[in-house]
Structure 1
Amino acid sequence: MAILPYVIVVLKMLLFSRLSSAIDTISKSQPLQDDGRTTLVSKDGTFELGFFSPGSSKNRYIGIWYKNIQPRAVVWVANREIPVKDNSGMLTINTEGHLGLLDRNETIIWVANSSTKALTPIVQLLGSGNLILRDEKDQNPQNYLWQSFDYPSDTILPGMKLGWDLRTGLNRRIIAWKNWDDPSPGDFTGQLMVHDFPEVVVWKGRTKYLRSGPWDGQQFSGTSLATDGSPFVSVLVSNKYEVYYTFNTKIESFLARSVFNQSTYTVELIWKKDDQRWKNWSISPKDNCDTYNLCGPNGNCVIGGAPICQCLRGFTPKSPNNWDALDWSEGCVRSESWSCKVKNKDGFLKMTGLKLPETTHTWVDASMTLEECKAKCIENCSCTAYSNSDTVSSRGCAIWFGALIDIREVSLNADLDLYIRLAASETAEVRDGGRNNTKVIVVLATIVFAFVIVIIFLCIYKTRRKYREGNDVEESKRDMEIPFYNYVVIVTATNNFSIDKKLGQGGFGPVYKGTLADGQEIAVKRLSKTSHQGMKEFKNEVILCFKLQHQNLVKVLGCCIKGEEKMLIYEYMSNKSLDSWIFGSITQRNTLDWSKRFQIICGIVRGLLYLHQDSRLKIIHRDLKASNVLLDNEMNPKISDFGLARIFGGGQIEENTNKVVGTYGYMAPEYAYNGIFSIKSDVFSFGILLLETVSGMKSRGLSYPNQCLNLIGHVWRLWKESMPLKLIDACLEDSFIVSEALRCIHISLLCVQHHPDDRPNMASVVMMLSNESDLPQPKEPAFLLERSPGRQESAQNNHISSSINEMSFTELDAR
């Protein structure tokens, strides 16, 4: 495009006064200059457009962000790939009616081409966050000449479309920033895949990383969020003209955005205007099972399963040896071939609550009933499964061909059924033929007998429960010797457990912020009714937490019991959890300088030492991680969430459990593989947490240099190559104390030794941190995912049962 039209505009600009900072439009005669003062502001004051420099970068970009929200939350960037190198940038409309960005030399940095011209074009920033080019006299959205909503950056706003315009071939997709300082396109891309059964897929380069599951009529099937009570309305539109996903908010006081970045991938956030803060609504990936095709073809990922990957019924591991070694990539194969078209030979297994398989090879007919869908599948020997394509109307037919890829359990999708084709021997109970009459009689008799027993049991139980309920709370008060809060007081304090009061969500239930009548702020852990924690277990946890009084442990203020409702009341931690700082924005990570990080490390050590040695009870936490370390208003660390903690008696050294619970990336090997835990299990977790605090890197889930698949492998490689200081968080620059940083890295490697006996106890860690004495040399640590040549590693049958016990108050801050 010729430069001359822009030069003409530059000359015209000299004849007009500068823009007012309160307007929402620019015209040919009024361009927007990078003068540090002038911006466009939407009429409702929600969004602002102007020049900015992200993070510590000096490059200049044109972007849109939420006005008056700090830190700045950028939602769109025009010139992502080509920044302006100084403050000479100018956003203008040329004589041909195109919107463009020029630099000092009138070089075109970025241009928004439009196929249609207008007599009097203007650019306007709308209250939706959409930047539009239109004719000054035409406000019809159908006639916009160009709009930023058609070219997303890393954020989807309410009303914005993610998907395709089939008439023009326009693909509206989101691409993560390269990093916090650089908005240029990174490795991760999210887009709607236009199959017969649309779904969103996240790519890392050219590799599939994450999949939403197909749209089931009200949400994507891989979503574990209940639609009831959600502040969002989600819609998928699919017709001959376009296929796209969009969402809006139900509550006017909420702002929302769906962000895509290099550390958390996709995140939906909500912000209450009178509360001045962002909060997580949903995060993907939320656990290991969200990893694309983790369990291979025909495998099902089950959080809490042992192992986490399980073959679907009627299938067996393709490579049993690899499967037992926790390598599930080859997946599963059929244990018996089906007959295909032979009457009454093949059957279907109904599975409920799944993320439906990948839809690359599917066929969909929206008008079919489920029975017609089944008949269609039986007719085709390549059909492996079928389902309704719309759970809202219970109609529509979706048929899968070939292997079933990337399945996982999603507990809240109870209305979503998948019918998997199996041989008759595997699905005798669902054959079309009748059953043997004798078997029917035996089964019915058994059912009737069991029913009678259940009725008798329920009558006895109901009578006893009715007696107990009246005395339960008072008895608990006497037994537990802990302050009890009135249920009405807690409901009032949390505004009836309002969504805008929600701080986090874990495996044991949600956590809410509350304010008592006297102004005291509290955190309320509301135990989920599905957490399987009875009154006895609840009492044990309350008593345990209440007896543990230390400056580096979160203080339990009391509890509340009302019928089936059980709640723990904690002191409120205003600075949330450690992970939100060390993995947060550049601003937050810069704020957490070395002295604060070292102070936090020492505080965690003191808290663990108290649990292991100084308290009346020897406590093993079993779930120490960054999200379970909370920070008060002076950034003092406090260990939280003792839902998985265990008490050791007298001289007890270790214990074995058949159910391994905790968080991937922090588990000691003897615990993850064999279920053996001790104080040294916590020491291992502390070692991981220490590495994360020093480096600002997550223990797992990211890619590290030199093909290391986790943080330990990365650190060990740097240690062996005598370059440990490369591990230090770049945000710390030269502000850290070298000797302290090196000692922390050294101690962390000692804490993550493979054998528990090689790890120090917390008393030794205190000594190591507080003096300059020589430290023993670490051996090769545990959980190196890159194996040495010729070395065999075996895993026991007692595999990991991962927990999503996230009693954290984590917030993801805006950019």
Structure 2
Amino acid sequence: MATNVVHLLKLVFLLFFSCLWTRHAAEWIYVTPAQAYNSSVGDTLKPGDTLNSSSFLVSAKGTFALGFFRRIDSTSNESYVGISDMADPNMPFNLYVWFGNRGNPIVKHSGMLTLDNNGTLKIVLQGEDPIVIYTSPTINTVGTLLDTGNFVLKEVDLNGSMKRVLWQSFDYPMDTLLPGMRLGVSHKTGHTWSIISWLTTDIPDQGSFALEWDPKGLELIVKQRGVAYWKSGVLIDNQFENISPDITSMYDFHIVSNEDEEYFYFSNKNQSLMSEWLLTFMGQFKDLRGPDIGRADNCYGYYTNGGCQGWEQPVCRHGGDTFELKSGYYVTRDSLATYNSSLSISDCKALCWSDCSCVAFSSQFGNDTGCRFWTGESEFVSGKSSDFVSINVLSSKPSHRHRDGFILYLDGGE
């Protein structure tokens, strides 16, 4: 009875959490751990093996599944080859940690993932060219989904023993950093390891925020289209300057630095936990099952507390200016739109902030892409009718003077 109550409370919490911030939940077809397990063909692809749209690879302990995941709404029916966390059977939505065809969804036909006899990992499409994920230099290639969430292609001997790792999904992360994943650079190959946010909460195309490791400054950086919005501060004795010790005490941080590569990774001190560091489409950096780590979404460039970075400001913007999300409409204000569907709401925010004539913005399309801007002068009328839209309206707040005489705006955002 007590166990059932605990599971019920966990489910209520997860549903509440997903309403506050939906982690890739809406409009995606949910695949339960039981469905993945019942459709599993094991944890390994061998030469000639194929996964169809209804079968999965499931890691040895059932913590991750690899297969096709579908997104459906009124305008699209898209599918992706991906890896999802399946560790918690009470999670009411899938937690995608990698897509093999990010930015290139399958829209017309169902596909098949195959590791062909030449060692090429590809998505085969009916009547279309395949989507090649990796081409192996050897035919003795097998792919295994590990309980870490890493899908590894390796060269094997005739007896099945591993000779070397050829390719791994951990080298091509999406918006999620798992324990053991790298952030940094390989000087040998020129490859960089970083995570890049989704475009919107439902569109997995590359968004505007990136999390990187600075090997010279020994710090984590969140950038918006190349501009540093937030920094962790230097890592010293397993502690970052701008991250609370209550948070860093949950992890062990590791740095590798040599002539071939420089990178950072983390591990959980409690090995029974699986942390997933996530960078949202608005720039929120958090542990999905834990606290916020950094809030680049609260950084406007005019104050530097909490790890926020300063950058050159338009002459019309001042400390205390922010955008507030409101429901309502403008009476006579002029507006203009950009129909670029590769722009996210955070891009709209940055564009409006840099334009002194802009006083409000919203997404242009129903899928939260494109931008609509309001300019000029008139009154905003608030309201809660379902006919009203949500608009981010410029709001000026008084700055707070530091006792030493410096002006510092203290953002009270969540």
Indicate the residue corresponding to 2:145 in structure 1. Answer: 125
Indicate the residue corresponding to 1:107 in structure 2. Answer: 129
Indicate the residue corresponding to 1:607 in structure 2. Answer: none
- Where do 5+ consecutive residues of structure 1 fail to align? 1-18, 271-279, 311-318, 329-662, 667-687, 693-700, 719-725, 733-744, 750-768, 770-780, 786-792, 807-815
| Residues 1:747 and 2:382 are matched in the alignment | yes
Residues 55 and 156 (structure 1), Cα distance of their counterparts in 2 relative to 1, 3 Å cut: farther
Q: What letter matches 2:230 in structure 1?
A: L
Aligned-pair CA distance for 1:59: 1.3
Larger helix fraction of residues = 1
Larger strand fraction of residues = 2
- CA–CA distance in structure 2, aligned partners of residues 268 and 99 of structure 1: 31
Corresponding residue to 2:295 among 279, 285, 305: 285
Residues 55 and 66 (structure 1), Cα distance of their counterparts in 2 relative to 1, 3 Å cut: farther
Indicate the residue corresponding to 1:41 in structure 2. Answer: 58
Q: What letter matches 1:89 in structure 2?
A: G
Structure 1 length-normalised TM: 0.36
| Residues 1:215 and 2:235 are matched in the alignment | yes
Q: Is the 8 A contact 1:664 1:802 kept in 2?
A: no
- CA–CA distance in structure 2, aligned partners of residues 245 and 782 of structure 1: 39
Aligned-pair CA distance for 1:794: 9.7
- CA–CA distance in structure 2, aligned partners of residues 706 and 165 of structure 1: 31
- CA–CA distance in structure 2, aligned partners of residues 283 and 55 of structure 1: 32
Counterparts of 1:601-640 in structure 2, within 5 Å, are none
SS at match of 2:66: strand
| Residues 1:257 and 2:280 are matched in the alignment | no
Aligned-pair CA distance for 1:707: 3.9
RMSD: 4.3
Q: Deviations over 1:114-171 (max 9, x none)?
A: 4x4143x22111111000112355555x711111111111111111111122222221
- CA–CA distance in structure 2, aligned partners of residues 52 and 249 of structure 1: 28
Aligned-pair CA distance for 1:245: 1.0
Q: What letter matches 1:73 in structure 2?
A: L
Residues 112 and 220 (structure 1), Cα distance of their counterparts in 2 relative to 1, 3 Å cut: farther
SS at match of 1:182: coil
Aligned-pair CA distance for 1:78: 0.6
Indicate the residue corresponding to 2:342 in structure 1. Answer: none
Aligned-pair CA distance for 1:731: 7.5
Structure 2 length-normalised TM: 0.66
SS at match of 1:59: strand
Residues 44 and 797 (structure 1), Cα distance of their counterparts in 2 relative to 1, 3 Å cut: closer
- Where do 5+ consecutive residues of structure 2 fail to align? 1-37, 330-344, 369-379, 386-391
Q: What letter matches 1:802 in structure 2?
A: L
Q: Deviations over 1:671-727 (max 9, x none)?
A: xxxxxxxxxxxxxxxxx56569xxxxxxxx9443794339xx97x768xxxxxxx87
- CA–CA distance in structure 2, aligned partners of residues 224 and 153 of structure 1: 25
Tell me how many residue pairs correspond in the alignment.
330
Indicate the residue corresponding to 1:401 in structure 2. Answer: none
Q: Is the 8 A contact 1:294 1:301 kept in 2?
A: no
- CA–CA distance in structure 2, aligned partners of residues 59 and 302 of structure 1: 39
Corresponding residue to 1:159 among 180, 197, 215: 180
Indicate the residue corresponding to 2:212 in structure 1. Answer: 191
* 4+ residue segments displaced more than 4 Å: 136-140, 663-666, 688-692, 726-729, 781-785, 793-801, 803-806
| Residues 1:233 and 2:252 are matched in the alignment | yes
- CA–CA distance in structure 2, aligned partners of residues 21 and 174 of structure 1: 29
Q: Is the 8 A contact 1:191 1:201 kept in 2?
A: yes
Residues 690 and 805 (structure 1), Cα distance of their counterparts in 2 relative to 1, 3 Å cut: same
Counterparts of 1:178-577 in structure 2, within 5 Å, are 178-195=199-216, 197-226=217-246, 230-270=249-289, 280-285=290-295, 288=298, 291=299, 294-295=302-303, 301=305, 326=318
- CA–CA distance in structure 2, aligned partners of residues 194 and 706 of structure 1: 28
Counterparts of 1:693-732 in structure 2, within 5 Å, are 702-704=346-348, 707-709=351-353, 730=366
Residues 146 and 309 (structure 1), Cα distance of their counterparts in 2 relative to 1, 3 Å cut: closer
Aligned-pair CA distance for 1:64: 0.2
- CA–CA distance in structure 2, aligned partners of residues 795 and 94 of structure 1: 63
Give aligned-pair identity as a percent.
27
Q: What letter matches 1:746 in structure 2?
A: V
Aligned-pair CA distance for 1:796: 9.3
Residues 127 and 207 (structure 1), Cα distance of their counterparts in 2 relative to 1, 3 Å cut: same
Indicate the residue corresponding to 1:60 in structure 2. Answer: 79
Q: Is the 8 A contact 1:188 1:265 kept in 2?
A: no
Residues 248 and 797 (structure 1), Cα distance of their counterparts in 2 relative to 1, 3 Å cut: closer
Q: Is the 8 A contact 1:113 1:146 kept in 2?
A: no
Q: What letter matches 1:210 in structure 2?
A: W
Counterparts of 1:587-606 in structure 2, within 5 Å, are none
SS at match of 1:164: strand
Aligned-pair CA distance for 1:244: 1.0
- CA–CA distance in structure 2, aligned partners of residues 133 and 29 of structure 1: 14
SS at match of 1:259: strand
- CA–CA distance in structure 2, aligned partners of residues 177 and 731 of structure 1: 13
| Residues 1:171 and 2:192 are matched in the alignment | yes
Corresponding residue to 1:78 among 76, 97, 100: 100
Residues 26 and 185 (structure 1), Cα distance of their counterparts in 2 relative to 1, 3 Å cut: same
SS at match of 1:53: strand
| Residues 1:97 and 2:119 are matched in the alignment | yes
